[in-house]
Structure 1
Amino acid sequence: MARVLLTGATGLIGRATATALTEAGHEVVTLGRNPASDIPCDLLDPGATTTALDAARASHLVHLAWHDGARDRWNSGANLDWMAATLHLVREFARTGGQRAICAGSCAEYDWSVPELIETSPLRPRTLYGAAKAGAGLALCAGQQTLGLSLAWARIFFVYGPDEPPGRLFGDLISNLKAGQPVDCTDGLQERDFLHVDDLARALLRVLKTDVTGPVNVASGTAIPVRDLIEEVAKQMSHPDLIRLGAIARAADDPARLAADVGRLRHEAGFVPQHDITSGVADILRSEGAQT
């Protein structure tokens, strides 16, 4: 089994990925600012990152860390810092003998006027977050041969899971319904591809084990109206009466549909999700003790 260096291990995706890697028999070495990390390190400090990579000597890398502020995620200047940090991290990983890397990209890199997104779809990010992800992904995918490693850029779509932080749809929805408070929503007619975080972790694991390189969409392959997810949560929590669809106007530029083509993920990495929306919502509500 591989020695895998994991960044972002304390986040929503990172927690699930650490579990999936460990259960698959890999030796997981966590790297980050959390003092509980195996190798404490501020990835925004290039010198500290170089020292940490010399200590880690991992053969594989799963890089998930990035600025994720609920209020300023999309347009914070920190996205530029994380773009630079990601390039430096991967270069140092390659220098220390790293062989295989998976880095977290985003569907925010794409031109959202295209309703069905494949890896070759145009990139036209609307936010600094998407632009920084796209810039890092393009550079690393083009430079992997020069660096002497195999790299996949995982363009992650819409993930949901337990213990989501404030400001995310699923977390806010559950906390408000638990409190018996009405939940104001948009009409929810916009279609999105949602993937349970445990399925996402399994998808990253599958990609890591293959020789898939370059950009790869990581999603379920099924886009549904956002209101379907909202109503499923409310139904399973026995509070459909608290959902107020249409109480909030959708942004004028909110895309009507963002659907992922997952042909590469399915056929080249062999990934099929285990959860649909019904079972995924039930799993999370069980884990949070939110079922009624």
Structure 2
Amino acid sequence: MINWAEVSTLITGGAGFIGANIVRRLALSGARLHLIVRPQTDLWRLSDVRDRVTVHKVDLLDGEGLRRMVRTIRPTIIFHLAMPSGHPRTAAERLESLQVGILATAHLLEAAMEIGAQRFIHFGSSLEYGRYDRPIKEVDHLSPVTDRGMAKATASMLAEFYARRHGIPVVILRPFSVYGPFENPNRFIPTLLRAAMTGEEVRLTAPSYRHDFIFVEDVVEASLRAAELQVQSGEAFNLGTGTQWTNEEVAALVEQVTGRALRLQIGARPPNPPDTSCWVADIEKARRLLGWEPFHDLSSGLKLTWRWMQAERIVDDQRA
């Protein structure tokens, strides 16, 4: 097991949803944390642990600047989560996601190889896969149907290649639909929970679109196990629950958890680019090699997220 207080840890994307939850977990363990963020990044998710981390405002596309910074801090463990948020809608956004996915990942892999980092945890996505009518396995073909999925898939392929060709100790994680504290307030589950607070109307997609929702604390736990355990370099792991829910089923569960009725307009919202009638993870590999499985079911995760939103008074959708 890693004594996090004795190693230097570097996290890209540490101000984002999943990254901030990893940062907060490690900060409370006394870890020596270094974060790479873009100069314009809002650090609202880290406001109460800001004094426990060192923030480096570095452009990941600046290869030489990045390598200088990595040589200075010499991280033992690297968590790579950086990627523009959301699904690209314009040519500029598509090109930015590909630049970060390919060039930024390559720059960081080169820097990790130069200093001999002991573990490189690369965050991919379930969006890397094609559409299947059954639980998705890690051996399934990568055939993304969205621009974000394409950027994620190319980055994961690059990380796997560096593991195989250059011996970098890479582990690839592919989370499914992650939710929980500090998620972007305008995403699906925070929108439902906020509507339970305010009574606002929620526009849902047509029935039958399904997702495998995984609580963020379970993703954090899997991330730390991937860093601590000895697994073959280049291995990929799905992070999900093995259970999928329709949007209307999630809305009904939110009503049950909060005790408040929702005002729904079913069919009023167009589907998102990756929406499909079957989207669920096979997590047997993570069980077998990481000794991990999700601790929270959707009901318990929603309860924890609901309590957090009430405590934090999360009633607006302005923070991303």
The 1-side partners of 2:151 and 2:269 are apart by 30
Closer, same or farther: CA 80–73 of 1 in aligned 2, 3 Å = same
Amino acid at match of 1:10: A
Q: Is the 8 A contact 1:70 1:167 kept in 2?
A: no
Amino acid at match of 1:56: I
The 2-side partners of 1:6 and 1:76 are apart by 24
Moved more, 253-262 or 240-249: 240-249
Report the CA distance between 1:70 and its aligned residue: 6.4
Q: Which runs of 5+ in 1 are unaligned?
A: none
Scaled by the length of structure 2, the TM-score of the pair is 0.82
> 1:101-116, aligned counterparts within 5 Å?
101-116=120-135
Partner of 2:158: 139
Partner of 1:44: 61
Q: Is the 8 A contact 2:242 2:283 kept in 1?
A: yes
Which of these residues, 92, 96, 100, is aligned with residue 115 of structure 2?
96
Report the CA distance between 1:114 and its aligned residue: 4.4
Which of these residues, 54, 68, 80, is aligned with residue 63 of structure 1?
80
Closer, same or farther: CA 249–140 of 1 in aligned 2, 3 Å = closer
Which of these residues, 244, 267, 273, is aligned with residue 223 of structure 1?
244
Q: Secondary structure at the match of 2:279?
A: strand
Q: Secondary structure at the match of 2:24?
A: helix
Which of these residues, 291, 295, 299, is aligned with residue 270 of structure 1?
291
Scaled by the length of structure 1, the TM-score of the pair is 0.90
Report the CA distance between 1:128 and its aligned residue: 2.0
After superposition, what is the alpha-carbon deviation per residue over 1:209-267, rounded to whole angstroms, capped at 9, x for unaligned? 11233221111222222322222223333332413334446579842111111111111
Partner of 1:130: 149
Partner of 2:318: none
Answer yes or no: is 1:151 the counterpart of 2:156.
no
Partner of 2:317: none
Partner of 1:170: 189
Report the CA distance between 1:166 and its aligned residue: 4.4
Which of these residues, 264, 278, 284, is aligned with residue 257 of structure 1?
278
Closer, same or farther: CA 252–32 of 1 in aligned 2, 3 Å = closer
Q: Which runs of 5+ in 2 are unaligned?
A: 44-49, 314-320
Q: State, as a whole percentage, how many aligned pairs show the same letter.
A: 27
Q: Secondary structure at the match of 1:42?
A: coil
Answer yes or no: is 1:208 the counterpart of 2:227.
yes
